[in-house]
Amino acid sequence: MAVSIKEFRNSFKQLNLKAAIVETVNAKREIVADLQATQMSRGERADGSKFPDYSARSVNEFGKRPGPWTLRDTGEFYRLIQIVKIDSTGWILTSLDDKTQLIKAKVRQRLGTQEDKVFGLNDTTREDFVKPHFVPELKRQLTQQTGIRIL
């Protein structure tokens, strides 16, 4: 469909990129939560580093697999991961599980740091989100706002 320059310009006046970004993330919030859980299951923190390794006692007595903590026991912590705030600059992820603050404190204690970096998509996981999920949905949102199909 051909449009005049004036129609094209008017379409872009309707563009609200910040709103489109927020709506895009909101539409894909469950995927973000699933990717966060998958990242944790690999023992990876938000900054790309690994969680501490399970102790020999955890492996031998409690059946944990050798390697970095996965923060998974009953699965409730993972099931309750969700985005609790979204704005045009990003989002905040957490788990609504009662153990969340305790888990974060244990990570900080074990690593000897003030930052737990439990929640947040690392570079690899963010890439798993952006290309297949975020970009197509953002294009859809922008097309809906402007009436111009974004390729």
pLDDT digit string (tens) for 21-69? 999 999 999 999 999 999 999 999 999 999 999 999 999 999 999 999 9
State pTM to two decimals: 0.90
pLDDT digit string (tens) for 78-123? 999 999 999 988 999 999 999 999 999 999 999 999 999 999 999 9
Give residues with Cβ within 8 angstroms of 51, minimum separation 6.
40, 43, 44, 45, 68, 69, 70, 71, 107
Identify the H or E element spanning 94: strand 90-95
Contact (Cβ atoms closer than 8 angstroms) between residue 17 and residue 92: no
